Amino acid sequence: MIKRLLGCVREYKKDSILAPLFVTMEVLLEVLIPFLMAKMVDFGINGNGGQGDFPYIVKMGILLIILCVLSLLFGVLAGKSAAIASAGFAKNLRKDMFHNVQNFSFSNIDKFSASSIVTRLTTDVTHLQNAYQMIIRVAVRSPMMLIFSLVMAFTVKADLALIFLAAVPVLAIGLYFIMTHAHPIFERVFKTYDKLNNVVQENLRGIRVVKAFVREDYEKKKFTGVAESIYSDFTKAERLLAWNAPLMQFCMYGCMLFISWVGANLIVSGSMSTGDLMGIMTYIMQILSSLMMLSMIFVMITISKASAQRTVEILNETSDIVNKKEPVSTVKDGSIIFRDVNFSYAGDSGKLCLTDIDLAINSGETVGILGGTGSSKTTLVQLIPRLYDVTSGEVLVGGVNVKEYDLDTLRNQVAMVLQKNVLFSGTIKENLRWGNETATDEELKRACELAQADGFISQFPHGYDTYIEQGGTNVSGGQKQRLCIARALLKKPKILILDDSTSAVDTHTDALIRKAFLEEIPDTTKIIIAQRISSIMEADKIIVLDDGKITGIGTHESLLRTNEIYCDIFLSQTKGGLSDVAK
């Protein structure tokens, strides 16, 4: 996992190494300061037999100032390098993840879900960036400070420094105890937080339901329960953490008292100097505070571990749909054949969504697909542009197995208008050009005319330059669907698949679109999934799906005679005479 993440450092390796190096230098200089101070006290202020040695003070003073300036310099350099390295690391990480997501197949996307991918690319990356910066700076600083200070303390007065041997374990064990006990409670708190957010979110979403059923008090009780458990858990965890500061103080004060006593004795007996005492006092503070920092770093790193795991999952995910070595790069025609196709979203082991599909569609035909919700209509057509791979059997387009094609070639020739379609923020023109980047204005207009979209577009004040908001919220559902059809038409595909793409379009316009297809793009194979029987009843072939199986293929008339389900659907929509089918 760590190796995978470190792979994102790349061109920022130099800064990633320089930062800890500078930090080490800074710490080294900082640690020397108390040492020189001690010297200055002993030989400067107290020197010359207690009279003071002024030139010595000046000499040491200048040395001290130089050290400080150097340490400042290294500190600034370290900060700069760390900033470059961590921002760069985050950039590469984000880039690697985003690029890999672009290679995801549909099943990869299904596996993670869009919102989870977004969180991983945003929040988790930010966490890791902070962690990385901390590791190359603070996580180097504290142990270095600890080591150097220990070395210096022992250099100054080894016997006195031994007090650390007593203090450090007390502090370390205490901190360890607090952390290990607080951590699980915190984890529980975070889960309860999720619960709390969930209650709020459900209430926001379902406020009308809550109000309609007069369940305000019921919801309040639910919320108060969760809020109460957050309170009690959080209090428990934080009360444990509240031992941190006093523990630290206990060790610090304890050491000071001990050193004062022993130190005074040593000085009086002449085996230590006053300067040394002052120096050693400073070193204790440094050692204890760096220990404290270390424990905090430890906590931070454990927290970012989860983020690391989640990002690596994205980085390591490989698409199951890839090009063959020597892919076919032309599609002969728009014929489609399904041979003994079985399909399951979960692979070999899962429940089959499509069973024993055998199907032959000639180039240029119009095919309707009908079936209830959950009858796997969408699943069936998604196999044609190889958005998913069959579990067994084969799908042929233009007489060639879809697995043999270059993916871009295949998908450019098989245009699909998805059921859950999306327009992107940008002008109508920009959105349409997704279909063909080099399309001229005339081509755009013609595609829109076919999709019956030109009419309403030209009524917009800015026409084709009208700005579409994110998600296409400023056009109506029917307009959006027609724009999506136009966008797909611009690809000039050999096969066009409309997955329930005219559900929000009125029957009249729907009929016009179908008529335009028939007249203007007769050579394109058209596959139409629809709820409305009127949308498909004139098709050359109608396929009736039920629970992942084909129950009938034929024309409207033949199916009416032979297929019970088709009959049912027809009747349900024509109940009472003319109804929706009328036209």
Among 5, 18, 25, 117, binds other proteins (CB under 8 A): 117
* Residues composing the chain: 583
Among positions 260, 271, 302, 318, the unique one binding other proteins when judged by CB under 8 A:
260
524 is an interface residue for other proteins by CB under 8 A: no
Q: In which element (H, E) is residue 269 found?
A: none
Question: In this structure, are residues 223 and 199 in contact, taking their beta carbons and an 8 Å threshold?
Answer: yes
State the DSSP H helix or E strand holding residue 369, giving kind and residue range, or none if neither. Answer: strand 366-370
Give CA–CA dist 237/316, Å, rounded.
Answer: 35
Residues between 478 and 517 with contacts to other proteins, criterion CB under 8 A = 478, 487, 491, 504-509
Decide: 510 and 444 in contact? Cβ < 8 Å: no
Q: Cβ 431 to other proteins, closest distance in Å?
A: 10
Nearer to other proteins, 90 or 361 (CB): 90
Residue 192 Cα to chain centre, angstroms = 22
76 near other proteins, rule: CB under 8 A = yes
Q: In this chain, which stretch among 1-9, 109-117, 328-336, 338-346 interacts with other proteins, using CB under 8 A? A: 109-117
CB-wise, 408 or 520, nearer to other proteins? 408
Per rule CB under 8 A, is residue 99 in the interface with other proteins?
yes
CB of 297 to other proteins, least distance (A): 15
Give yes or no for residue 64 binding other proteins (CB under 8 A): yes
Among 17, 24, 147, 206, binds other proteins (CB under 8 A): 206
User: What's the CA gap between 16 and 2, in Å, rounded?
Assistant: 15
Do the beta carbons of residue 367 and residue 495 sit within 8 Å?
A: no
- Integer Cα distance of 298 and 278 in angstroms: 31
Taking the complex as a whole, how short is the minimal distance between the CB of residue 208 and other proteins, in angstroms? 6
Q: Does 327 bind other proteins (CB under 8 A)?
A: no
Chain residues 263-322 in contact with other proteins, contact rule CB under 8 A: 264-265, 267-268, 274, 277-278, 281
Q: Does position 352 bind other proteins by CB under 8 A?
A: no
Rule CB under 8 A: choose which of 358, 465, 520, 568 binds other proteins. Answer: 568
Q: Check residue 387 for interaction with other proteins (CB under 8 A).
A: yes
Identify which of residues 320 and 340 has a Cβ nearer to other proteins in the complex: 320
242 counts as binding other proteins under rule CB under 8 A: yes
Binding of residue 80 to other proteins (CB under 8 A): yes
Q: Which residues contact 554 (CB under 8 A, 6 or more apart)?
A: 541, 542, 562, 563
Burial of 70 (0-12, 13-18, 19+ CB in 10 A): middle
Q: Which stretch binds other proteins (CB under 8 A): 3-11, 50-58, 171-179, 302-310?
A: 50-58
Nearest Cα neighbor of 559 from 536, 527, 530 is 536
Under the criterion CB under 8 A, does residue 243 sit at the interface with other proteins? yes
| C-beta atoms surrounding 131 within 10 Å | 22
Residue closer to other proteins, measured from CB, 111 or 339: 111
Does 262 contact other proteins by CB under 8 A? Answer: no
Which position among 21, 196, 352, 521 is part of the footprint of other proteins (CB under 8 A)? 196
> Which of these, 244, 245, 27, lies nearest to 141 by C-alpha position?
27
Q: Least Å distance between CB 340 and other proteins?
A: 26
Distance of alpha carbon 233 from alpha carbon 193, whole angstroms: 11
Applying CB under 8 A, the site for other proteins has a residue count of 161
Note whether 579 binds other proteins by CB under 8 A.
yes
Q: How far apart are CA 52 and CA 45, in angstroms?
A: 4
Segment contacting other proteins (CB under 8 A): 149-157, 291-299, 470-478, 512-520? 470-478
Stretch that binds other proteins, among 292-300, 336-344, 412-420, 552-560 (CB under 8 A): 412-420
Pairing assessment for the beta strands 414-417 and 495-499 based on DSSP bridges: parallel
Give the nearer residue to other proteins in terms of CB position, either 272 or 357: 272
**For other proteins, which residue of 17, 57, 300, 396 counts as binding (CB under 8 A)?**
57
CA 525 – CA 494 distance, rounded (Å)? 6
Which residues, including other chains, have CB under 8 Å from residue 364's CB and lie 6 or more apart?
334, 522, 523, 524, 525
Contacts of 1 (CB under 8 A, 6+ apart): 308, 309, 312
**Region from 170-178, 254-262, 350-358, 554-562 binding other proteins, contact rule CB under 8 A:** 254-262
Interface residue with other proteins among 8, 18, 20, 44 (CB under 8 A) is 44
Residue closest to 531 by CA, chosen among 564, 551, 501: 501
Q: Which of 7, 10, 14, 65 binds other proteins (CB under 8 A)?
A: 65
Given the rule CB under 8 A, which of 168-176, 324-332, 345-353, 474-482 is the region that contacts other proteins? 474-482
In sequence order, which residues have a C-beta less than 8 Å from that of residue 349 and are 6 or more positions away? none
CA angle at 96 for the pair 95 and 97, rounded to the nearest 5° = 90
Maximum CA pair distance of the chain?
A: 122
Please tell me the distance from the alpha carbon of residue 70 to that of residue 77, in angstroms, as a whole number.
10
Stretch that binds other proteins, among 208-216, 344-352, 358-366, 439-447 (CB under 8 A): 208-216
Of positions 3, 325, 348, 373, contacts other proteins by CB under 8 A: 373
CB of 476 to other proteins, least distance (A): 6
Query: What is the Cα gyration radius of the chain?
Result: 36
Distance CA 196, CA 191 (A): 9
How close are the terminal C-alpha atoms of the chain, in Å?
62
Q: Is 562 in the site for other proteins (CB under 8 A)?
A: no
CB of 63 to other proteins, least distance (A): 9
Q: Which of 16, 128, 137, 450 binds other proteins (CB under 8 A)?
A: 137
